[in-house]
Chain A
Amino acid sequence: MAKTESTLKNMVLTLLVITCVAGTSLGFMYELTKGPIEAAKAAKQQAAIKEVVPEFTNNPGEEMKNFTSKEGFEIKFFPAKKDGVLIGLAIETMTNKGFSGNIRIMVGIKPDGTIINYQVLEHKETPGLGTKMADWFKTDKGNQSILGKHPKKNKLTVSKDGGEVDAITAATISSRAFFDAIRVAFETYTENQSSFTVTSNTSTEEGGTK
């Protein structure tokens, strides 16, 4: 097959055709994968919620409430209810004070504010250092764990800043950022606590006695 000559017309035409075909196929693929990508994101969110609050019988995703923190972040609250009673809240919080950018955390609290568990959703911290936050503050070693602690009763920040918690070794900034996110979650919760009723007034799903 003879090679096409490198005339200006041919070159422009070729590039135009290739780019158009490329663009169209990508547009097509985009539509095709849009659904599964959304589903994957939703599944991830559901899994994170399950991890940080006790077993629930409602659908936290559907009962989600959005509030804006005083820093301007959108904080999502996922109420976890068992038979109509609020047993916990999964809060998707964030901070912009991370070492390499934003950190998003899903933290589960009891209605009274005690921390149940957390899961780090998204971050760009240094592997082996900041990334340790995924497990560090859950590990029952020294003064690392924040599980079961309460932001009002315990000083939840790194010991360098007068707090009670041991920061991740050599990752003070990431640790500070982590606590910033927790603080944002708790403060926004406290500001909007009235929106979350502990018992449901409308009749419950299963009803009846236990």
Chain B
Amino acid sequence: MEYVLIVISAIFVNNIVLSQFLGICPFLGVSKKISTGIGMTGAVTFVMVIATIVTFVIQKAVLEPFGVEYLQTITFILVIASLVQLVEIILKKVSPPLYQALGVFLPLITTNCAILGVAILALGLEDTNIVKSVVFAISHAVGFGLALITFAGIREQLDLMDIPKGMKGTPIALVVAGLLALAFMGFAGIV
């Protein structure tokens, strides 16, 4: 039951992008087309889940026993950077067109605050254990994807519309994101 709560909360109520402000850069940068949005979601999910698992283990097996929790930021970000390198290598071999489409955004997953953010947040869960962290990570990745793909869908339509010059591009994207965030706030009462 608790897991259902984690899942619903992560995807809808505390959506990582629309309510916790993490992952905004790729959200604004890769959401111009639905197809790239989907590809980015896949890459982020992979990195987010594995990063959360690895950082969880490191925190419990190394940082806490040795009393060096202050090294958390450094170790976590290094883990994430290495994972992203790995994803890049794998993607290049497995799906070159997707690799090309994601372009510069792939290495930028390292600086995706959502990944580091989720890794740190997972440790703050009550009675945290590895399974909960994984569920947490997957749910947030799904939430990220949901926000990203919905937004991409809207933006594809937005491109075809007549928008006042000053608002074109980023400003209107931000206002629309705000409306989307407002809509997601409606989920606040569920849990």
Contacts and interface: CB of A to CB of B under 8 A. Distances in A.
Interface string A2-38: 0000000000000000010011001101100000000
Interface stretch (A81-89, A99-107, A158-166): A99-107
B126 interface: yes
Contacts of A155: none
Contacts of B9: 100
Given A170-B188, A170-B189, A102 B70 contact: no
B175 to A, nearest CB: 20
A170 B191 CA distance: 11
Given A23-B71, A30-B70, A100-B14, A129 B126 contact: no
B74 A22 contact: yes
A27 B71 CA distance: 9
A101 B125 CA distance: 7
A41 interface: no
Contacts of B124: 101, 124
Given A27-B68, A29-B70, A96-B126, 9 more contacts: A19-B74, A22-B74, A26-B71, A26-B74, A30-B70, A101-B125, A102-B126, A124-B124, A170-B188
Contacts of B127: 96
Interface string B48-89: 000000000000000000001011001000000000000000
Contacts of A19: 74
A173 interface: yes
A103 B66 CA distance: 28
B70 A126 contact: no
A99 B191 contact: yes
A18 to B, nearest CB: 10
Interface of A: 19, 22-23, 26-27, 29-30, 96, 99-102, 124, 126, 129, 170, 172-173
Contacts of B188: 126, 129, 170
B86 to A, nearest CB: 16
B70 A101 contact: no
A172 B190 CA distance: 11
Contacts of A27: 68
Contacts of A170: 188-189
Most chain A beta-carbon contacts within 10 A, residue among B71, B125, B127 = B71
A75 B58 CA distance: 30
B126 A101 contact: yes
Nearest to B9: A100
Contacts of B70: 26, 29-30
Nearest to B73: A26
Contacts of B189: 170, 172
A22 B71 CA distance: 9
Contacts of A22: 74
Contacts of A172: 189
A129 B187 CA distance: 13
A148 to B, nearest CB: 31
Contacts of A23: 71, 74
